[in-house]
Amino acid sequence: MKRHDKGFSLVEVMVGMTIGLLGLLVIAQVLSITQSSNRTTSTGGDAQQNGALALLAIERDIRQSGYGMNVSQNLGCQVVGIDSTTGRDVRFLFTPAVITQGLDTAPDVIQLTYSNASMVTSPSALMQTMASADADYVVSNRFGFTVNDVLVVAAPGQECDLTQITATPGTPYQNNITHAATARYRGSQIYSSGAQIYNMGRNPVSNRYSIVDGGLQVLSEITGETELIADGIVDLQADYGLNLDGDTENTVDEYRASPDLDGNGVISWDEWEKVIAIRVGLVSRSSKKETDNVTTDLPTWVGGPFSNVANLADWQQYRYRVFETTVVIRNILWKPPT
């Protein structure tokens, strides 16, 4: 009898290879689509998380802003001082919130300032005119003022000094506050009797939020330290909420880019006093660039479109998340009547 050969013929091998290759092609396509979908979901989640963290940081500081600034007549004073540790000039406005509008479509910058003093929220009056810039402050009441507390000294027609306490008298019946040149923060001005001295605590805050290299960065104007809050934040916009009629219900009558109501280029203390809320909007972007365009419309918020997004390369191939909120500056609402 004829002996049958064992194994597969060439035709059978070719058919098997073809079927296997077709199966691998289908598997590869399914895997590619799945991975692409997973990356889109993951990066979209990152954008969601980064945007929420960024808005939370800004919102927290807005709620704190204005603490310790409860005498309206000094709002808007330019605070100046020198950080002797670094030689850095310190400058910020003595007001809860300052919005610097970006040029054209550029993102805005928000600066938020407040005290962290635990005992004193009202300023103490200077009782004697200073003989020199480094002379002691003789105040009406030094209760709550302790060594290393940072002070802001304000008087009409002058810039505000940023100084730091280096010594207080050992007896409770003396009201001298020493601010020697050995302190980290020192001012340079001489103030007359009647000037107001604010205790800002040992670690006062003046945080400036801005978009830097595609992320939300905060700069401490007082210490000079910077920190990246969240990556992937590509635009930031903000407006002032103004109580124009000064009603006791403290309702926002209008949102504006500036509280300069008379348009003279100078914001007076009574105009700063009308700012009772800040409206903030920001947009975060996914880290993954899609192969095709996924959007044709700019992200928008109640204040309008985020036009800066269109200045980014290939902006239509990314996914965006918009976050917005309005936060009341409660420390302005709670201050004593003018």
SS (H, E, C) 17-74: HHHHHHHHHHHHHHHHHHHHHHHHHHHHHHHHHHHHHHHHHHHHHHHHCCCCCCCHHH
Residues 233 and 298 in one domain: yes
CA atoms within 13 A on the CB side of 122: 10
249 vs 141 pLDDT, higher one: 141
pLDDT score recorded for residue 172: 73
Say if residue 224 is in the same domain as residue 277.
Answer: yes
In a domain, 57, yes or no: yes
Q: What is the pLDDT of residue 39?
A: 56
Between strands 124-125 and 196-199, the pairing is antiparallel
> Does residue 91 belong to any structural domain of this protein?
no
- Place 10 in a pLDDT band, splitting at 50, 70 and 90: confident
Q: How many domains does the structure of the chain reveal?
A: 2
pTM for the whole structure: 0.86
With a cut of 80, say whether residue 126 has pLDDT above it. yes
Evaluate whether residue 85 is within a structural domain.
no
Q: Give the whole-angstrom CA distance, residue 144 versus residue 183.
A: 19
Domain assignment present for 86: no
On average, the pLDDT of the chain sits at 89
**Do 289 and 150 share a structural domain?**
no
Q: What is the pLDDT of residue 64?
A: 95
Give a yes or no: residue 10 inside a domain: no
Q: Are 146 and 178 in contact (CB under 8 A)?
A: no
Q: Which of residues 154, 180, 203 is at a domain's end?
A: 203
Compute the distance between CA of residue 72 and CA of residue 68 in angstroms, rounded to an integer.
Answer: 11
Taking a C-beta distance cutoff of 8 angstroms, is the pair 136, 175 a contact? no
pLDDT, residue 19, reads 84
Q: Is the pLDDT of residue 117 over 60?
A: yes
The whole-number pLDDT of residue 294 equals 86
User: Is the same domain home to 106 and 210?
Assistant: yes
Domain boundary among 182, 203, 224: 203
How large is the average pLDDT for residues 276-290?
A: 92
Strands laid side by side in the 320-328 sheet: 254-256, 233-242, 275-285, 320-328
Helical H segments across 193-264, by residue range: none
Residue 217 belongs to domain spanning? 39-75+97-112+206-338
Q: Which of 150, 185, 203 is the last residue of a domain?
A: 203
Average pLDDT over residues 261-274: 93
Lowest mean pLDDT among 73-77, 175-179, 284-288, 301-305: 284-288
Q: Assess whether 71 and 210 both reside in one domain.
A: yes
pLDDT of residue 120 exceeding 80, the answer is no
User: What whole-number percentage of the chain has pLDDT above 70?
Assistant: 92
Is residue 195 domain-shared with residue 299, that is, in the same domain?
Answer: no
**Residue 74 in contact with residue 158, Cβ under 8 Å?**
no
Q: How many other C-beta atoms lie within 10 A of the C-beta of residue 177?
A: 25
DSSP conformation letters of 277-331: EEEEEEEEE-SSPPSS----S--EETTEE-GGGGGSTTGGGS-EEEEEEEEE-HH
**Mean pLDDT on 16-36:** 75
Same domain, 180 and 296: no
State whether 179 and 304 are in the same domain.
no
Q: In this structure, are 122 and 101 located in the same domain?
A: no
- On the question of pLDDT at 34 being above 70, the answer is no
Segment 295-315 mean pLDDT: 93
The pLDDT of residue 171: 80
Identify the three-state secondary structure at position 121: coil
Are 281 and 299 members of one domain? yes
Q: Is residue 232 part of a domain?
A: yes
Q: Answer whether residue 27 is part of any domain.
A: no
- Tell me what pLDDT residue 235 has: 97
Q: Which of 236, 222, 269 is nearest to 92 (CA)?
A: 222
User: CATH no. for residue 141?
Assistant: 2.40.10
Claim to verify: residue 234 and residue 334 sit in the same structural domain: yes
pLDDT at 141: 86
* pLDDT beyond 70 at 337: no
Average the pLDDT over each of 99-108, 135-144, 210-219, 255-264 and give the range with the smallest value: 135-144
The answer to whether residue 280 sits within a structural domain is yes
**Per residue in 207-240, pLDDT tens?**
999 999 999 999 999 999 999 999 999 999 999 9
Q: Tell me, yes or no, whether 215 and 331 share the same domain.
A: yes
CB atoms within 10 A of CB 110: 23
pLDDT band at 268 (very low <50, low <70, confident <90, very high): very high
Lowest mean pLDDT among 34-48, 139-153, 265-279, 318-332: 34-48
